[in-house]
Amino acid sequence: MSTEGSTLPKTQTSLLEGKVAVVTGAGGVLGHAIARTFLDNGASVVITDISGDALAAAVERLGAGEKVLAITAGVSDPDAVDAVVAKTTAHFGRLDIWVNNAGIARDATMKKMSIEDFDLVIDVHLKGSWLGTRAAAGWMREHGGGAIINLSSISGKVGNAGQTNYSAAKAGIVGLTKAAAKEVGFAGVRINAIQPGLIESKMLDDMPPEVQESRKKEIPLGRFGTPEEVANIALFLASDLSSYMTGNVVEVSGGRHI
């Protein structure tokens, strides 16, 4: 896999000094990069994942001591999601940023896709993001505002064959982001979405090398993105740099599918 262009300077600023962020699915590649970037920018971070093992490994890799709180929680379980808000605010006293990042893929053509795999992907991505957005916005609107960031995908913009479940969920997240932004903007709660393209991750590793090469030819910047390049946009959307943005969808795709 190419690593060209992945040598970005590490951001080390105070954009999120004193802020408290929740990142779901932080046992995975993008969630970990987002948590790392937020920590590097002064935030305390609550990392959640359905996998206790992935979470334990993430805590160790982050090595940030008291600035990290890990909570095992599934994003499709309303009680578990509400409990993350309650535990975060009890532990750190505030909640400023919430990133709906957890995800799974169950790819198959419509002909072969089971109803269970359709439901599961919608449940984790769309219902999970709705539950997270509802719970976080519910707290933020009563406490001076905040920023919510939803991980959509370029797949939700253009539709990918073999991903009718995933593309539908990721397009649904765009609608959720815009509708929710309209409901809670008055209270200073901003909600934006990110649509990553092909990022160096397990998803890409699972792709045969010849498919990777043909996909790369579709990318104007000529390379895959790095998790840090997605995390930097999450940082921008989480911070006051984007204070007049809500309901936006930011593509991080190297220009693929523009």
Shortest Cβ distance from residue 101 to ligand NAD (Å)?
Answer: 5
In whole angstroms, give the CA distance from residue 120 to residue 99. Answer: 20
47 near ligand NAD, rule: CB under 6 A: no
Stretch that binds ligand NAD, among 50-58, 63-71, 90-98, 243-251 (CB under 6 A): 50-58
Q: Which is nearer to ligand NAD, 44 or 195 (CB)?
A: 195
Residue 94: how many other CB atoms lie within 10 Å: 16
Which pair of structure tokens corresponds to residue 25?
Answer: 């699915």
**Are 247 and 177 spatial neighbours (Cβ–Cβ below 8 Å)?**
yes
In whole angstroms, give the CA distance from residue 22 to residue 49. Answer: 11
Shortest Cβ distance from residue 186 to ligand NAD (Å)?
Answer: 28
171 near ligand NAD, rule: CB under 6 A: no
**Are 1 and 200 spatial neighbours (Cβ–Cβ below 8 Å)?**
yes
Which pair of structure tokens corresponds to residue 100?
Answer: 């709906």
Instruction: Return phi, psi of residue 175, to 5°.
Output: -60, -45
Q: Which is nearer to ligand NAD, 57 or 187 (CB)?
A: 57
Binding ligand NAD (rule: CB under 6 A), the pick from 167, 177, 201, 226 is 201
Given the residues 38, 98, 130, 166, select the one marked as catalytic: 166
202 near ligand NAD, rule: CB under 6 A: yes
* DSSP code, position 107: -
The closest alpha carbon to 194, from 91, 99, 68, belongs to 99
Binding ligand NAD (rule: CB under 6 A), the pick from 15, 22, 23, 25 is 25
The closest alpha carbon to 242, from 194, 183, 173, 208, belongs to 194
31 near ligand NAD, rule: CB under 6 A: yes
Site string for ligand NAD, 93-122 (x = CB under 6 A): --------xxxx------------------
164 near ligand NAD, rule: CB under 6 A: no
Question: How many amino acids of this chain bind ligand NAD (CB under 6 A)?
Answer: 28
Residue 244 is among the residues annotated as catalytic for this protein:
no
Q: Could you tell me which residues are beta bridge partners of residue 249?
A: 193
| Half-sphere exposure at residue 217, Cβ-oriented, CA atoms within 13 angstroms | 5
In whole angstroms, give the CA distance from residue 122 to residue 222. Answer: 32
49 near ligand NAD, rule: CB under 6 A: yes
* Residue 109 CA to its chain's centroid (Å): 25
Binding ligand NAD (rule: CB under 6 A), the pick from 75, 131, 189, 238 is 75
Binding ligand NAD (rule: CB under 6 A), the pick from 35, 54, 126, 233 is 54
The residue with its CB nearest to ligand NAD is 28
Residues in touch with ligand NAD (CB under 6 A)? 24-25, 27-31, 49-51, 54, 74-76, 101-104, 124, 151, 153, 196, 198-199, 201-204
What residues act catalytically? 166
